[in-house]
Amino acid sequence: MKLDWNDIDSVLLDMDGTLLDRHFDDHFWLEHVPRTYARKNKLPLGRAKEQLYALFRSQENTLNWTDLDYWSSRLGLDIPLLKREVDHLIAVHPHVTDFLLFLRRNGKAVHLVTNAHGKTLDLKLRKTRLGPYFDGIVSAHDLGLPKEDGRFWERLRKKAPFDPARTMLGEDSETNLSTAQAYGIRYLFYVSRSSSALPPSPSSRFISLHYFSQLIPPAGSLEIDLQRDCSVPNKLIAEVRT
Ligand SMILES: [Mg+2]
C-alpha cells in the first residue's frame, strides 16, 4: 500500500499505548494499585488482585474504566496520588516526537483523542511535554462517551471537525479502530508495540506499526510504501484497502 500524505488532512492519535508506553498503565493498575489495596485491607496480594481484576473487567468499555474519581471512591484509595508515586514510568514511545514534528511541518491538523480522564491527562502531559504538538486535546470524558461507542466519532467531529475520508487514526485498540472504521475514518493504523515490557502483537485486521517512524516518508517525498516497512502480508493490506 502506498500512503500519500497529500490525501490526509487530519490526524487523530490515541495516548496510552499509542504515543505513550502502556507499561506505566499496566504496572499501575495490575501491580501498584493491588499492592496498595492489599496493604490497606490486610489481604494477601493474590486475593487483592483477584478481586480488583474482576472489578476492573466489570467496567471495561465504559468511561468508568478510566475515571480516576470513580476508582478512588470505589476502592477507597487516592488514585491520582498513587499515580504520582510511579510517574517515573510514564514514557513516550520511540520516534513519536519525530512523527509529531513531521505532521506539524506538513500542516496536518493533529488531535490527541483519548479515553483518559482529565487528571491522568494533566499528569501525563506535564511529564511528557507533548501538549504543544497538538492542535487540540480531547478526553472522552468531555464528550460523555468512550471511543468503544460508535457514536463517539460523530461527537468528536462536532468538537474537532474532520473529513473521515481524509483522516488518519492511530490506536492500540482494535475495538476503537473498528468503531472508527464503521464511522468511515479511512486511514487506520494499529500500534502493535503498545508496551515496552511486552512483545509486539500485530493486528490481524489493521495495518500494524511498531513505531510511527514507519509513517514518515523519506526526505523530499510525501509518499511511503507501507508494504516495505510494515511486516504485514500483502493479502492483509489488500483486505484493509477494500
Ligand atoms: Mg490506548
> How many angstroms is it from 3 CA to the middle of ligand 1?
23
Taking the C-alpha atoms of residue 203 and residue 189, their distance in angstroms, rounded to an integer, is 9
Residue 109, strand partner residues: 10
> How many angstroms is it from 173 CA to the middle of ligand 1?
6
CA atoms within 13 A of residue 97's CA, in its CB half-sphere = 7
Mean predicted lDDT score pLDDT of the chain: 93
Answer yes or no: is pLDDT of 236 > 90: no
58-116 pLDDT, tens per residue? 999 899 999 999 999 999 999 999 999 999 999 999 999 999 999 999 999 999 999 99
Question: Where are the chain's structural domains?
Answer: 2-21+90-225, 24-88
14-66 pLDDT, tens per residue? 999 999 999 999 999 999 999 999 999 999 999 999 999 999 999 998 999 99
Catalytic residues: 7
Residue 227 has what pLDDT? Answer: 63
Residue range 151-178: mean pLDDT, rounded: 97
Task: Say what the pTM is.
Answer: 0.91
Quote the cell numbers at residue 113: 483523542
Answer yes or no: is pLDDT of 242 > 80: no
Answer yes or no: is pLDDT of 160 > 60: yes
Angstrom distances, CA of residue 105 to CA of 5, 123, 164, 194: 12, 27, 22, 26
> How many angstroms is it from 113 CA to the middle of ligand 1?
10
Report the DSSP pairing between strands 2-4 and 223-225.
antiparallel
Residue 225, strand partner residues: 2
Residue 232 has what pLDDT? Answer: 46
Query: What stretch of H or E contains 225?
Result: strand 223-225
- What is the CATH code for 2-21+90-225? 3.40.50.1000
